[in-house]
């Protein structure tokens, strides 16, 4: 199995175990450079685990991860964090950090420990906040924000890392529908700036509406991967999720919408 | 009752915190203990203030109770009449009422001061066991003491006490009577064992406001009355020895250094150390602290620069060790008394109020005379 | 939220610390005038001649000055350790006591006091703190992945064990008065602080404390947990255990001269956080400065409140600290 070593994110033979059980079983996957891809699958399929391995946040037991030819698992941590950013599913803190300080955390891989914030750094923080339309909130306490606002701030934090690869774990989790759409619109916009994006998503309709590629994970294995329309079939959904699915078309957007009924 | 055992530690106010620690540790045992105590008769706790005056009244009370209805007893008439031996002796001891229907026959003494008290009264044969002895018994009682059995190096456990089936446990420190020690006083009483604390060592109640030799001598009388023996000759002998002590201190100052290194623990203004210093004419630099012994402060010691330093010599903390502490602390090494070696040494057992208090005063006076050479 | 500029607050604290030391050293049971105290200190620094007798000069140079300086260093070290541990364990109630460090250090110290090998004291406290930390980590590890909450629970267990052994040692070997020395260890006291104590604590602050103060950005990255810190390029486990070990060393050094002084590590970082916000780059050095000022005054109270008696400073810090902590808790509740 060989891949073009210069095309986007390439994970090979990734195996992850925890406490003796196999979470990810010898997975190969690719995410095309500059694409917006979705990682889908039932709960417990191993989506979060695989995402962390693909951004080298948690090293897998075996396997390799390359992005644009760079060995993410082998390079120095700070250098890797300038290349790849990861946004967790639920970002919670006990600290009373302000929005501004949270976004500044994204500058950590670019700064030495005890240097003052450079003008450039401050500008990047401001730009990141502007991108997610949270500039007005920059002095607010992070904990006081709504779920959708928090998710946007965490996205701004990731952007402040100036990454070329952005991985997000269930970025629409717990958000109301407007906020879910806002986040995905934002990702679609970011994708136009050349950032390669991989998001674990729960909602197949959202994945089908916004993503060019889909990777389907089940029981720690990739069961299908490729262009959205070829991968997301009623048969595959029935096999992986154990439900009957009907793929319809949204009359407004013309994108696929998936309806479910019991198997 | 529960807090009686604090007596020993209560010499130091901080002991309350240690007590809290122990209480927390035993928190699971408490409900059981409560139930147990609730089922016992409540001992009334008449408290007497122990000025010399009230002590005299107390002694009169002993006599009054001893000879029911008799109001003619002279205050000093503790000497039992022949039929008094059959009468009960009742008194309040550290706030606990105790009754002796007859003279105790099987006594456990805890601390040297109580052992020596009985030896001095010729009651060595009543002692069935000793515990927590602070040092060797002085020459004059050595032969009698040779037969004594030590049951514990420190405070014996309640079972060790009960095992000997005593009719009296006589302790030099109030703290000895605790559930973790020799047993709480109420518990022992309910098992038919009397308890007695050397009266001058009381802390929780009836502590002498300012210890005097009247207190020390009346302690001896009290013990004599409980055992129905005559203390007259012992007291006369002690009074004569006391009268002979030369108050050669000439109002010079002294530190009574009992123990400690970081924080000095000193003889303060109201207990045996103050009494002994007063007796030999020395001025205690810690006299203002209204306590028997108290944690003090090196800065205040250096500021006062005392003429003499009294060192208490105990097996567990020798006078030499204390000299070491004084000489290695750069601030105290320059004290005049340290530089000139003007130390007065008192054996630990004689530093607590009791039958050796007069001897301690004598020792101080003799050593002052030697140093003054 | 930042209410006070960290730089302004830092400058104010630095001045307050200098003023506090200057004044505290002139307060004590012995009545020595302000100018005499400082002329005496000046004479030791090679400026002029001491106006005091040799003995009273000793009060200033051998008793008061080393004690005040030790108080400052111990306060700084404990507050710094507390701030670091609160960040690393993501537990606002964390302090050097949480992970059993203090109990371990006190056990080490108490053991050598009762064995009579006082020379080994600082070393034994170090070893005790490190052993307790190791035991805490082993126990936390045996429960599964080492998470902050498991570490805290393990710390409580280890702390209880170390305290029980300490109590056992006291109970077993107490003779006459050694319990009093032990008490001052358990409650915390600076009465034994002389120049060697200044040396131990200052070296700990300079060699370990100052590098730790420079890790503020790293600690900030822990605000959202290990995964986010890792995603920001932080070597999470090396940072965590490295800083924990550094905190253990600082705590061991401080406990070895002062015993376990409570509340300094717990409340002062919270107070600073309220004033300048949660960013650790400001929080760490400011906590250390405030801790120094706080303990200088707490110890001054401890040695003068009941003059000429003195009380362990741990009592004073608890008496002041507990109500402040309660206040901080209510503030915290209303702000979240």
- pLDDT value of residue C179: 63
Please give the tally of structural domains in chain A: 1
| Residues in C touching A78 (Cβ below 8 Å) | 233
Instruction: Please report whether residue A1 resides in a domain.
Output: no
Query: CB contact, 8 Å: B367 with chain C?
Result: no
* CATH number for domain B245-372, candidates 3.40.50.1980, 3.40.640.10, 3.90.650.10, 3.30.420.10: 3.40.50.1980
- pLDDT value of residue B353: 92
Instruction: Please report whether residue C35 resides in a domain.
Output: yes
**Which residues lie below 8 Å from residue C187, measured CB to CB, with a gap of 6+?**
B14, B17, C259, C260, C312, C314, C315
Query: CB contact, 8 Å: B302 with chain C?
Result: yes
Cβ contact C308:B290 at 8 Å? no
Return the residue in C231, C275, C281, C332 with the most chain A beta carbons within 10 A, the one to mutate for interface testing: C231
Indicate yes or no: CB of B297 within 8 angstroms of CB of C55: no
Distance of alpha carbon B273 from alpha carbon B281, whole angstroms: 12
Q: At what angle do helices C101-115 and C178-187 cross, to 10 degrees?
A: 160
Nearest CA in chain C to B268: C309
Q: What are phi and psi of A100, to 5 degrees?
A: -60, -45
Q: Tell me the mean pLDDT in the region A72-79.
A: 93
Indicate yes or no: CB of C227 within 8 angstroms of CB of A52: yes
Indicate yes or no: CB of C233 within 8 angstroms of CB of A108: yes
DSSP one-letter code for C55: H
Q: What are phi and psi of A3, to 5 degrees?
A: -125, 155
**Which residues lie below 8 Å from residue B329, measured CB to CB, with a gap of 6+?**
B261, B298, C62, C194
**For chain C, percent of residues with pLDDT exceeding 90:** 36
Distance of alpha carbon A216 from alpha carbon A202, whole angstroms: 11
| pLDDT tens digits for range C259-293 | 888 889 988 998 898 888 889 999 999 999 999 99
Distance of alpha carbon B70 from alpha carbon B200, whole angstroms: 28
Strands, E assignment, B77-182: 89-93, 96-100, 107-110, 127-131, 150-152, 168-171
* CATH number for domain B2-227, candidates 1.10.3720.10, 2.30.140.10, 3.40.50.300, 3.40.50.1980: 3.40.50.1980
Nearest CA in chain C to B154: C175
For residues B36 and A71, which has the higher predicted lDDT (pLDDT)? Answer: A71
Indicate yes or no: CB of B12 within 8 angstroms of CB of C308: no
Cβ contact C58:C119 at 8 Å? no
Q: Are β-strands B293-295 and B265-267 bridged in parallel, bridged antiparallel, or unpaired? A: antiparallel
Cβ contact A78:A84 at 8 Å? no
Q: Are β-strands A62-67 and A9-18 bridged in parallel, bridged antiparallel, or unpaired? A: antiparallel
Query: CB contact, 8 Å: B331 with chain C?
Result: yes
Indicate yes or no: CB of C231 within 8 angstroms of CB of A102: no
Return the residue in B298, B311, B315 with the most chain C beta carbons within 10 A, the one to mutate for interface testing: B298
Whether there are 3 or more C-beta pairs closer than 8 Å between C and B is yes
The CATH code of the domain that includes A71 is 3.40.50.300
What is the C-alpha end-to-end distance of chain B, expressed in Å?
Answer: 52
Q: Chains that contact C by 3+ CB pairs under 8 Å?
A: A, B
Whether there are 3 or more C-beta pairs closer than 8 Å between A and B is no
Instruction: Please report whether residue C1 resides in a domain.
Output: no
Indicate yes or no: CB of C232 within 8 angstroms of CB of A81: yes
Return the residue in A108, A125, A143 with the most chain C beta carbons within 10 A, the one to mutate for interface testing: A108
Interface size A-C, in CB pairs within 8 Å, comes to: 90
| Residues in A touching C91 (Cβ below 8 Å) | 94
| Residues in C touching B262 (Cβ below 8 Å) | 181, 184, 189, 191-192
Query: CB contact, 8 Å: B329 with chain C?
Result: yes
Indicate yes or no: CB of C310 within 8 angstroms of CB of B294: no
- DSSP for C57-84? HHIIIIIIHHHHHHHHHHHHHHHHHHHH
Distance of alpha carbon C262 from alpha carbon C187, whole angstroms: 8
**Which residues lie below 8 Å from residue C81, measured CB to CB, with a gap of 6+?**
C95, C96, C101, C247, C250, C251, C254, C265
Q: How many other β-carbons are positioned within 10 Å of the β-carbon of residue B149? A: 11
- Nearest Cα neighbor of B297 from C43, C164, C63, A196 is C63
Q: Tell me the mean pLDDT in the region A22-48.
A: 92
Mean pLDDT by 10 residues, chain B (373 residues): 32 38 37 33 30 37 37 39 69 93 95 94 94 87 89 86 93 88 90 93 87 94 95 95 95 93 89 96 95 90 96 85 91 94 94 94 96 91
Cβ contact B343:B308 at 8 Å? yes
DSSP one-letter code for B41: P
Nearest CA in chain C to B180: C171
Indicate yes or no: CB of C223 within 8 angstroms of CB of A55: no
CA distance B2 to chain C (A): 19
Whether the link from the prior residue into C308 is cis, omega within 30° of 0, is yes
Instruction: Please report whether residue C278 resides in a domain.
Output: yes
On the CB side of B370, how many CA atoms lie within 13 Å of its CA?
Answer: 11
Indicate yes or no: CB of C28 within 8 angstroms of CB of B14: no
- pLDDT value of residue C130: 83
| pLDDT tens digits for range C233-262 | 999 989 988 998 898 889 888 988 888 888
| Residues in C touching B299 (Cβ below 8 Å) | 28-30, 59, 63-64, 303, 308
Please give the tally of structural domains in chain C: 1
Indicate yes or no: CB of C336 within 8 angstroms of CB of A143: yes
User: Which residue ranges make up each domain of chain B?
Assistant: 2-227, 245-372
CA distance C166 to chain A (A): 34
Distance of alpha carbon A249 from alpha carbon B1, whole angstroms: 86
Numbered residues of chain C with Cβ closer than 8 Å to any chain B Cβ: 28-31, 54-56, 58-59, 62-64, 164, 167, 174-181, 183-184, 186-187, 189, 191-192, 194, 303, 307-312, 315
- pLDDT value of residue C332: 60
Nearest CA in chain A to C282: A114
- pLDDT value of residue C126: 79
Distance of alpha carbon A198 from alpha carbon A36, whole angstroms: 6
**Sign of the four-CA dihedral B238, B240, B241, B243:** positive
- pLDDT value of residue B92: 93
Q: Tell me the mean pLDDT in the region A60-82.
A: 93
Indicate yes or no: CB of C192 within 8 angstroms of CB of B298: no
Domain range spanning residue C328?
A: 6-335
Domain range spanning residue A123?
A: 9-262
CA distance A232 to chain C (A): 31
CA–CA distance from A65 to each of A69, B177, B281, B346, C171 (Å)? 9, 73, 91, 81, 60
| Residues in C touching B288 (Cβ below 8 Å) | 308
CA distance C67 to chain A (A): 32
Q: Is C108 left (phi over 0), alpha (psi -120 to 50) or beta?
A: alpha
- pLDDT value of residue A93: 84
Q: How many other β-carbons are positioned within 10 Å of the β-carbon of residue A42? A: 15
Indicate yes or no: CB of A97 within 8 angstroms of CB of C279: yes
| pLDDT tens digits for range C323-335 | 887 886 776 655 4
Query: CB contact, 8 Å: B260 with chain C?
Result: yes
Distance of alpha carbon B68 from alpha carbon B81, whole angstroms: 13
| pLDDT tens digits for range A148-179 | 899 999 999 999 999 999 999 999 988 889 98
pLDDT band at residue A5 under the 50/70/90 scheme: very low
| Residues in C touching A76 (Cβ below 8 Å) | 233
DSSP one-letter code for C207: I
The gap from C-alpha A61 to its chain's centroid, in whole angstroms, comes to 21
Instruction: Please report whether residue A4 resides in a domain.
Output: no
ipTM: 0.89
| pLDDT tens digits for range C57-72 | 888 998 899 999 999 9
| Residues in B touching C58 (Cβ below 8 Å) | 302, 330-331, 334
Name the residue among C2, C220, C225 with its Cβ closest to that of A105.
C220
Indicate yes or no: CB of B317 within 8 angstroms of CB of C175: yes
Instruction: Please report whether residue A147 resides in a domain.
Output: yes
Task: Quote the longest CA-to-CA distance of chain C.
Answer: 65
Q: What is chain C's Cα-based Rg?
A: 20
DSSP bridge pairs for B93? B96
Name the residue among C30, C174, C189 with its Cβ closest to that of B262.
C189
| Residues in C touching B155 (Cβ below 8 Å) | none
Distance of alpha carbon A165 from alpha carbon A227, whole angstroms: 19
Whether there are 3 or more C-beta pairs closer than 8 Å between C and A is yes
Cβ contact C74:C190 at 8 Å? yes
Distance of alpha carbon A34 from alpha carbon B363, whole angstroms: 99
Helix (H, G, I), strand (E, B) or coil at B187: helix
The CATH code of the domain that includes C329 is 1.10.3470.10
| pLDDT tens digits for range C132-158 | 988 988 888 887 766 667 777 888 899
A177-181 long-range contacts, CB within 8 A, separation 24+: A178/A148, A179/A146, A179/A147, A179/A148, A179/A151, A180/A206
Distance of alpha carbon C316 from alpha carbon C318, whole angstroms: 5
For residues C259 and A4, which has the higher predicted lDDT (pLDDT)? Answer: C259
Query: CB contact, 8 Å: B143 with chain C?
Result: no
On the CB side of C82, how many CA atoms lie within 13 Å of its CA?
Answer: 30
Indicate yes or no: CB of C278 within 8 angstroms of CB of A19: no
DSSP one-letter code for C48: S
Distance of alpha carbon C19 from alpha carbon C17, whole angstroms: 5
Indicate yes or no: CB of C277 within 8 angstroms of CB of A93: no
- DSSP for chain A? ----TTSSEEEEEEEEEETTEEEEEEEEEEE-TT-EEEEE-STTSSHHHHHHHHTTSS--SEEEEEETTEETTTS-HHHHHHHEEEE-SS---SS--BHHHHHHHTTGGGS-TT-PPPHHHHHHHHHHHHHTT-GGGTTSBGGGS-HHHHHHHHHHHHHHT--SEEEEESTTTT--HHHHHHHHHHHHHHHTTT-EEEEE-S-HHHHHHH-SEEEEEETTEEEEEEEHHHH--HHHHHHHHSEEEEEEE-TTT--EEEEEEE-
Q: How many other β-carbons are positioned within 10 Å of the β-carbon of residue B78? A: 25
């Amino acid at each position: 199995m060989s891949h073009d070593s210069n095309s986007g994110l390439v994970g090979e033979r990734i195996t992850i175990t925890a406490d003796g059980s196999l979470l990810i079983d010898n997975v190969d996957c690719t995410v095309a450079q500059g694409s917006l891809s979705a990682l889908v699958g039932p709960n417990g399929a191993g989506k979060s685990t695989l995402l962390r391995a693909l951004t080298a946040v948690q090293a897998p037991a075996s396997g390799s991860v390359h992005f644009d030819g760079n060995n993410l698992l082998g390079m120095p941590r700070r250098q890797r964090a300038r290349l790849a950013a990861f946004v967790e599913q639920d970002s919670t803190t006990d600290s009373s950090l302000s929005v501004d300080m949270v976004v500044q955390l994204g500058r950590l891989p670019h700064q030495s420990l005890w240097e003052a914030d450079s003008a450039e750094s401050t500008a990047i923080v401001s730009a990141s906040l502007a991108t997610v339309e949270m500039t007005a909130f920059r002095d607010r306490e992070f904990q006081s924000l709504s779920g959708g606002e928090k998710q946007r701030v965490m996205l701004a934090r990731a952007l402040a890392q100036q990454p070329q690869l952005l991985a997000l774990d269930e970025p629409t989790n717990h958000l109301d529908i407007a906020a879910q759409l806002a986040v995905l619109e934002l990702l679609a916009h970011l994708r136009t700036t050349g950032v390669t994006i991989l998001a674990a998503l729960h909602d197949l309709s959202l994945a089908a509406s916004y993503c060019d590629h889909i990777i389907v994970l089940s029981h720690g294995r990739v069961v299908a991967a490729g262009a959205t329309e070829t991968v997301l079939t009623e048969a595959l959904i029935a096999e992986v999720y154990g439900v009957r699915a009907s793929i319809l078309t949204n009359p407004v957007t013309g994108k696929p919408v998936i309806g479910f009924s019991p198997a | 009752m529960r807090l009686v055992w604090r007596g020993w530690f209560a010499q130091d106010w901080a002991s309350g915190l240690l007590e809290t620690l122990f209480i927390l540790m035993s928190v699971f045992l408490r409900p059981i203990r409560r139930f147990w105590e609730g089922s016992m008769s409540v001992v009334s706790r008449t408290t007497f203030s122990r000025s010399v005056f009230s002590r005299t009244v107390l002694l009169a009370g002993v006599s009054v109770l001893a000879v029911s209805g008799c109001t003619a007893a002279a205050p000093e008439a503790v000497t039992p009449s022949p039929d008094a031996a059959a009468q009960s002796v009742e008194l309040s001891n550290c706030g606990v009422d105790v009754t002796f229907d007859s003279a105790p026959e099987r006594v456990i003494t805890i601390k040297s001061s109580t052992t020596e008290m009985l030896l001095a009264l010729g009651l060595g044969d009543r002692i069935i066991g000793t515990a927590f002895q602070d040092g060797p018994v002085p020459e004059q009682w050595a032969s009698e003491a040779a037969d004594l059995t030590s049951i514990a190096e420190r405070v014996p456990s309640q079972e060790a006490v009960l095992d000997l089936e005593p009719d009296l446990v006589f302790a030099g420190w109030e703290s000895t009577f605790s559930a973790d020690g020799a047993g709480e006083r109420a518990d022992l009483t309910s098992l038919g064992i009397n308890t007695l604390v050397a009266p001058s060592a009381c802390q929780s109640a009836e502590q002498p406001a300012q210890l005097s030799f009247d207190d020390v001598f009346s302690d001896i009388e009290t013990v004599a009355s409980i055992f129905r023996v005559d203390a007259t000759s012992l007291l006369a002998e002690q009074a004569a020895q006391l009268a002979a002590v030369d108050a050669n201190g000439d109002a010079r100052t002294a530190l009574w250094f009992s123990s400690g290194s970081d924080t000095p623990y000193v003889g303060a203004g109201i207990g045996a150390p103050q009494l002994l210093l007063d007796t030999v004419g020395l001025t205690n630099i810690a006299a203002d602290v209204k306590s028997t012994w108290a944690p003090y402060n090196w800065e205040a010691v250096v500021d006062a620069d005392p003429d003499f330093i009294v060192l208490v010599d105990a097996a567990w903390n020798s006078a030499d060790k204390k000299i070491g502490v004084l000489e290695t602390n750069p601030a105290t090494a320059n004290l005049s008394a340290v530089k000139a070696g003007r130390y007065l040494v008192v054996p630990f057992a004689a530093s607590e109020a009791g039958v050796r208090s007069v001897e301690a005063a004598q020792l101080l006076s003799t050593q002052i005379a030697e140093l003054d050479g | 939220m930042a209410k006070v500029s960290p730089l302004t607050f830092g400058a104010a604290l630095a001045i307050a610390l200098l003023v506090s030391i200057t004044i505290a050293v002139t307060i004590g049971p012995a009545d020595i005038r302000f100018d005499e105290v400082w002329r005496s200190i000046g004479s030791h620094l090679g400026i002029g001649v001491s106006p005091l007798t040799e003995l009273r000069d000793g009060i200033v140079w051998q008793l008061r000055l080393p004690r005040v300086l030790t108080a400052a260093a111990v306060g700084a070290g404990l507050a710094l350790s507390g701030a670091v541990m609160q960040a690393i364990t993501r537990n606002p109630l964390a302090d050097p006591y949480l992970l059993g460090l203090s109990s371990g250090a006190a056990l080490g110290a108490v053991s050598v006091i009762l064995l009579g090998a006082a020379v080994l004291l600082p070393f034994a406290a170090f070893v005790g703190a490190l052993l307790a930390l190791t035991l805490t980590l082993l126990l936390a590890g045996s429960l599964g992945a080492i998470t902050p909450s498991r570490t805290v629970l393990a710390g409580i267990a280890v702390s209880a064990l170390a305290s029980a052994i300490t109590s056992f040692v006291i109970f077993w070997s107490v003779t006459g008065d050694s319990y009093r020395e032990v008490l001052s260890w358990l409650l915390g006291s600076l009465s034994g602080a002389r120049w060697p104590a200044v040396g131990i604590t200052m070296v700990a602050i300079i060699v370990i404390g100052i590098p730790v103060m420079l890790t503020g950005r790293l600690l900030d990255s822990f605000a959202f947990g290990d995964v986010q810190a890792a995603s920001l390029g932080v070597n999470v486990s090396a940072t965590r255990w490295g800083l924990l070990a550094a905190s253990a060393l600082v705590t061991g050094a401080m406990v070895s001269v002062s015993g376990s002084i409570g509340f300094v590590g717990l409340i002062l970082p919270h107070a600073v956080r309220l004033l300048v916000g949660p960013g650790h780059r400001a929080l760490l050095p400011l906590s250390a400065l405030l801790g120094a000022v706080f303990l200088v005054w707490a110890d001054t109270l401890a040695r003068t409140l009941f003059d000429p008696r003195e009380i362990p400073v741990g009592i004073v810090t608890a008496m002041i600290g507990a109500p402040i902590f309660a206040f901080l808790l209510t503030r915290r509740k209303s702000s979240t």
